[in-house]
Each structure stands twice: as structure tokens, then as C-alpha cells.
Amino acid sequence: MLREPESRGLPSPQAAGEQHGGQDGETVALTASQELAPSPLLQEGIKEGLGAMREGAAEPAPTRQGARTLAAKALARRRAYRCLNRTVAEVVHFLLVKDKKKSPVTRFEMVKYVDGDLKDLFPEIIARAAEHLRYVFGFELKQLDRKHHTYILIHKLKPLEEEEDLGGDGPRLGLLMMILGLIYMKGNSVREAQVWDMLRRLGVLPSKYHFLFGYPKRLIMEEFVQQRYLNYRRVPHTNPLEYEFSWGPRSSLEISKMKVLGFVARLHKKEPQHWTVQYREALADEADRARAEASMRARVRARASARAGLHH
């Protein structure tokens, strides 16, 4: 999960689903809301709870008793969000499994995965699930029949059109972008255990076969690492031994930090500028890339001019 770093200024969609108007076959859409929580599959620690979202009122300065009450409320809100995050992950996993049979999914089937306390948030859960299906797995969630509330997944050939350099498999590309985003938002390196924990929160077990990724741990270690999209190295002075991931040289060449930050921002329904530290770093990276590109073009022109001079 992309948790909010303690030392950084890091930090959903409004309910769409059945309440969203339109024609049969419409895509389940998300509307941005600065008041709602970030992506449930990317962040486990949430500062604002369901009560704060609904009430939007500032708390008065607490007394000692009031402080205990506020702490209890904050704990309840965190538990509520963990439950919400888990529900979204379960709905995503259910839809991916159902897609193997290419059969429509009904609202009733999905509601079974929602606890009673969260049923009034079902449109929001569907909207968040749709966003992750699109950006992470490369699927579009379409509503086939508004009257009977049936849905189907449509595979998008290019879930991340701007990442064409990576090419190939959409779901695997989405997984790589998730890992690169996690690394970038956590300070450019993450412990191995954090990556496996993120997969589990997506409903993907690292060592168990997944119909989209094969064996995820093998995919990461044998393809992403060997193809130099990821670096994998031992963390010094750790006992027991620990390992960490960072961006590999191929990722640094093919994918800009701004593109990865944009990917994270879309999942969180935020603007990239929301994360000031990462945004400044991404701007600096863009400037470095522009200078390198300009320098390369200048050398090419100089060589071309030199060759032309030899022929005169």
C-alpha cells in the first residue's frame, strides 16, 4: 500500500454506480472528491474517517475526557476504513474471477461481499473497484443493463496508453506501475515485505498462481528484476536478512517519475501537486530529461554538420 510517509506531505470517488444516469452499456465512472479518502488499495492509514467525511465539522479543543473520546472515534474510523478497503479488494477479486467465465455479474452478487454497515456505501465501493480495475488490471467495468443491474468487464488493450514503451501485457504493466509507484512514494526504495503486503491487499497472493499474473513473486523476481525494471538488493546491517526493491535502470529510462506520480494521482483522485515533495522531484526529473534530450539532439546536429562539411 502507498501509505503516507511520516516525514512527507503525502496524503474517491463520489458514488456513481446505480445512481449515475445514462444509457445501458455505460462505463461505471468516478467523480473526483477532495473530501473522500484516497484509494483503498493503496493506503491503509487514513487520517479522515467516515464520520469526518459525512459531518465535515471541526472538533473543539478537547479536554482529557474529550481527548479519550476523540481517540476512540479515530480508532473506530480507522477500523471502518480498513473494512472498506478490504471490501473493495474483495469485490475487485470477485469480478476478476467471474470474468474468466465471461458471464455478466449482478449487483446482488456483489452486494454479498459488502458488510451490512457498508451497504449504504455500495455505489462508492463499485466506483472505487472500477477505478482499480481500469488502471491496475486493464479492465473497464461496464453496466450492461441498468434495470437489472448487470455488469461485465471489458478488456482494454492499452490501460496505460502513455506507457507504450513498456508494451505488452496490460495487467502486468499495471502491477509494475503499482510497484514503481509504491517505491517512489515511499522514498525511492521499499522493503520486500512491503511489496508482498501490497499484493495481498490487492487480493493477490505472492506465491499462489493468479490467472492474470501467473505466479506473482516469480513474475517480479524473474521478469521485472531480470529485465532491470526493478533492482533487488540486500539491506545492510539487518538481522535477520532483509531485502529491498528500487527502480531499475530500465524503468528510469523508459518511465518518468511524473508519469508514475500521475498514475498514483489517478488512483487517489488527486492532482500530482498534492504530493509536494514527490512533485518537486518529478519536475526536476523532467527538467533533467529535457536537458539530456536537448544535449543529444545538439550532438546529432553537430555530427551531421561535420559530415556535411567533409563533402564540400
Give yes or no for a contact between 184 and 190, defined as CB atoms under 8 angstroms apart: no
Could you tell me how many helices (H) and strands (E) the chain has, helices first?
10, 6
Looking at residue 62, its pLDDT comes to 60
Looking at residue 311, its pLDDT comes to 59
Looking at residue 171, its pLDDT comes to 79
Give yes or no for a contact between 40 and 12, defined as CB atoms under 8 angstroms apart: yes
The H or E element that residue 181 is part of is: helix 170-185
> Is the whole model's pTM more than 0.85, yes or no?
no
Kindly provide the residue ranges of all beta strands, DSSP E only, lying in 122-193, ordered along the sequence. 139-145, 150-155, 190-191
pLDDT tens per residue, range 36-72: 344 434 443 333 444 444 444 455 556 777 777 787 7
Residue 106 CA, chain-centre distance (Å), reads 26
Ordered per-residue pLDDT tens for the chain, 312 residues: 444 444 343 333 333 333 333 344 444 433 333 333 444 344 433 334 444 444 444 555 567 777 777 877 777 777 777 777 788 888 888 888 887 777 788 888 888 878 777 777 888 888 888 888 887 777 888 887 777 788 888 766 444 444 444 444 577 888 899 999 999 999 999 999 999 999 988 888 899 998 788 899 999 998 899 888 999 999 999 999 999 999 998 888 888 999 999 988 888 878 999 999 999 999 999 999 888 888 878 877 877 777 776 655
Query: In this structure, what C-alpha cell is assigned to residue 8?
Result: 512527507
Looking at residue 60, its pLDDT comes to 56
pLDDT tens per residue, range 162-184: 444 444 457 788 889 999 999 99
| Whole-number Å distance between alpha carbons of 114 and 91 | 8
Looking at residue 197, its pLDDT comes to 93
Give yes or no for a contact between 257 and 281, defined as CB atoms under 8 angstroms apart: yes
